[in-house]
Structure 1
Amino acid sequence: MLKTKKILVTGGAGFLGSHLCEQLLKSEHEVLCVDNYFTGNKANILHLLDNPRFELMRHDVTFPLYVEVDEIYNLACPASPIHYQHDPVQTTKTSVHGAINMLGLAKRVGAKILQASTSEVYGDPSMHPQREDYWGNVNPIGVRSCYDEGKRCAETLFFDYHRQHSLRIKIMRIFNTYGPRMHPQDGRVVSNFIVQALKGEPITIYGDGSQTRSFCFVDDLVKGMISLMGSADEFVGPVNIGNPNEFTIKQLAEVIIDQTGSKSELVFNPLPSDDPKQRRPDISLANSELNWFPQIELEEGVSKTIEYFRKIV
């Protein structure tokens, strides 16, 4: 019989966090959702508020938190360029101070803790696809560095707590993820294209559209996250969680135009600074250690995401 755990999810009112909270509740766990609503939205978790095993707390992880929990999923951090560049100092603080505070909490209460890291730790990669043993090609002083280097430093802190204090840690590197509850103004390519297509506006492509991304549907991502947390203590990661099927940005735009029936035209603008040309995970480690494979193809996932955005746009 599954043991009920008390589980803390930081950033729990965000896009990924709300889906994670929902899935943990389905597994009969008690969930403490913590968010400061910088990018999270209470609407994402309104349907969970009546559940007696769900608790919501407004809190900023850059300040210490004193609670009793068995596991911690540390997801708190703005994850889209528009949001993390809005207040870059706070973004770095959220990654670094947030990691210190959550690691300190895990150490005090003996909790297992998972860090939601990112494929951005690889920067603009010279290895393709990206494996976990690749150290990355990151600009430490660019406009995206607050996010990239903040997440890299958080990984360092997690491993140092693991080595120095024998803390039970898990690190996952999340690749492009999409699905219902994405913020319509988060500036990410899937939400941007869907909103523009539904409004009949020109679809804005940065560069010539030949840069590639791999898109993982949120349900697959959450399953990978929970599998990692439940894996043997000896396996700490980092492990890539993402969909290895690679598409150009132009191909994504064409899929969305087709599925929305939009008459939007493609418009090409200059590529932003430090925007990676390629992004595709090598998920061999997730396959072998977690028996995890993404199940939902782009066309199916985009269809579910469009259905969500039709209701809110």
Structure 2
Amino acid sequence: MKRVLITGAAGFLGSHLCDRFIKEGYRVVAMDNLITGDLRNIEHLMPLANFEFYHHDVTKFVHVPGDLDYILHFASPASPIDYLKIPIQTLKVGAMGTHNLLGLARVKNARFMIASTSEVYGDPLVHPQTEEYWGHVNPVGPRGCYDEAKRYQEAITMAYHTYHGLETRIVRIFNTYGPRMRLNDGRVLPAFIGQALRGEDLTIFGDGSQTRSFCYVDDLVEGIYRLLLSDYANPVNIGNPSEITIKDFAEEIIKLTGTSQKVVYKPLPKDDPKQRQPDITKAREILGWEPKVGRAEGLKKTYDYFRGLSKERLYEESNHREFDAARK
């Protein structure tokens, strides 16, 4: 039975990865400092003999006894609300955390994967975005703490691969959604659903002509799993190339939820990307992967999840109380 360390394991994506590796028969070591993660995302795994949890901050020295076959570094604030509130921690987990875990991977002779992001492309001048595009990023803008942390992650990971011969993988993740997202994390999809559930008008920043491409979490996890087990070391885009404007997406949410809210407009934040669409040619050719879940199906599953939360949990998710408490 192979053993995998997953950092950021109590977060949205990390918890789904834990589920997948348990299903595949791995022993899973989950690690999270809970600054944005939530133990409720993995509480169903706690009784399992092949699952263990470490409450730890990876920017500090990381020690895991025993063998490790794989390390997946998915610990990082990933939403604008989070990384704008804690920019230093965001940079540290991208830099110091990645360095610590690469060192652990060398000691354990483990294959190492980092969760990079489409944000390495910044506000792109190339559309759709291919892995060969180097990006258009403002390093001193408000989003620089996240964008540059991820770009540094890629650089140091590739340096360990070329200099030390470490087995590494880099996944560039585009907009992803599904159960266990936080409603008030600043990303467009949970923000819209949260506003709809609370009977509020849906807020669009800018004129709504900017685009996003949304990938359901099960599809994303499948792509990550295939990339980890592949022989390809360069970055690979994993996302759904089905592109939609924010204005049209808001209309889809209103139709899905059956509510009568209107759409209101506010100024576009600085450096917010105008277009986002992955070119997934490499994923198709190298991994034999492409998304299977259509947006209508995925949105219904996601909406049903949030609608099923208790009123207390829904209020908590919407007001971000746990994150604020952890930050203090």
CA drift at 1:237: 2.1
Shift of 1:187: 1.1
Give the gaps of 5 or more residues in structure 2.
315-328
**Counterpart for residue 288 of structure 1:** 285
Shift of 1:50: 1.3
* 1:22 paired residue among 19, 31, 34: 19
Cα deviation for residue 69 of structure 1 reads 1.0
Q: Which residue pairs with 2:267 in the alignment?
A: 270
1:61 matched to 2:58? The reply is: yes
CA–CA separation in structure 1 for the residues paired with 2:49 and 2:182: 27
Q: Which of structure 1's runs of 4+ aligned residues deviate more than 2 A?
A: none
Query: What's 1:154 paired with?
Result: 153
Choose from 234, 237, 247 the match for 1:237. 234
Q: CA deviation at 1:81?
A: 0.5
Residue aligning to 2:245 = 248
Which consecutive residues of structure 1, in runs of 5 or more, have no partner in the other structure? none
Q: Which residue of 1 aligns with 2:72?
A: 73
Structure 1 Cα separation of the partners of residues 48 and 241 of structure 2: 36
Look up the equivalent residue of 2:20 and give its one-letter code: Q
C-alpha separation between the residues in 1 aligned to 2:262 and 2:42? 35
Q: Distance in 1 between matches of 2:170 and 2:216?
A: 19
Residue type of the partner of 2:24? S
Aligned amino acid, residue 240 of structure 1: N
Q: Figure out how many residues of one structure are paired with residues of the other and give that number.
A: 308
Per-residue CA shift, 1:183-208, capped at 9, x if unaligned?
Answer: 11111100000010111101000001
Q: Of 35, 40, 45, which residue of structure 2 is paired with 1:38?
A: 35
Give the TM-score of the pair, scaled to structure 1: 0.97
- Aligned equivalents of 2:235, 2:241: Cα separation in 1: 17
User: For residues 104-149 of structure 1, what are the alpha-carbon distances to aligned partners after superposition, in whole Å with 9 as ceiling and x for unaligned?
Assistant: 0001110000010000000000000000000000001000000000
> Which residue matches 2:258?
261
1:258-279 deviations in whole A, cap 9, x for unaligned?
1110111100000001000000
CA distance in 2, matches of 1:40, 1:184: 13
Matched, 1:279 2:244: no
Match of 2:161, as an amino acid? H
Aligned to 2:90: 91
| Alignment partners' CA distance in 1, 2:212 and 2:83 | 20
State the alpha-carbon separation in 2 of the partners of residues 47 and 16 from structure 1.
15
2:234 partner letter: G
Structure 2 Cα separation of the partners of residues 77 and 250 of structure 1: 29
Partner residue, 2:127: 128
CA distance in 1, matches of 2:259, 2:144: 36
**Deviation sequence 1:258-313 (CA, Å, 0-9, x none):** 11101111000000010000000000000000000000111111100001111223
Q: Distance in 1 between matches of 2:126 and 2:264?
A: 30
Aligned twin of 1:226: 225
Q: Aligned residue for 2:208?
A: 209
TM-score (norm 2): 0.93
SS in 2 for 1:132: coil
Distance 2:292 2:261 in 1: 30
Counterparts of 1:180-219 in structure 2, within 5 Å, are: 180-219=179-218
* Match of residue 303 from structure 2: 306
Q: Quick one: distance in 2 between partners of 1:266 and 1:146?
A: 30
Aligned equivalents of 1:274, 1:5: Cα separation in 2:
42
CA distance in 1, matches of 2:259, 2:98: 43
Q: What is the match of residue 104 of structure 1?
A: 103
Query: Partner of 2:192: helix, strand, or coil?
Result: helix
Match of 2:144 in 1: 145
Residue 5 of structure 1 pairs with residue 2 of structure 2: yes
Post-superposition Cα deviations, 1:238-259, rounded to whole Å, max 9, x if no partner, equal 0000000000011111111111
State how far apart, in whole Å, the 2-side matches of 1:262 and 1:75 are: 35
CA distance in 1, matches of 2:261, 2:6: 39
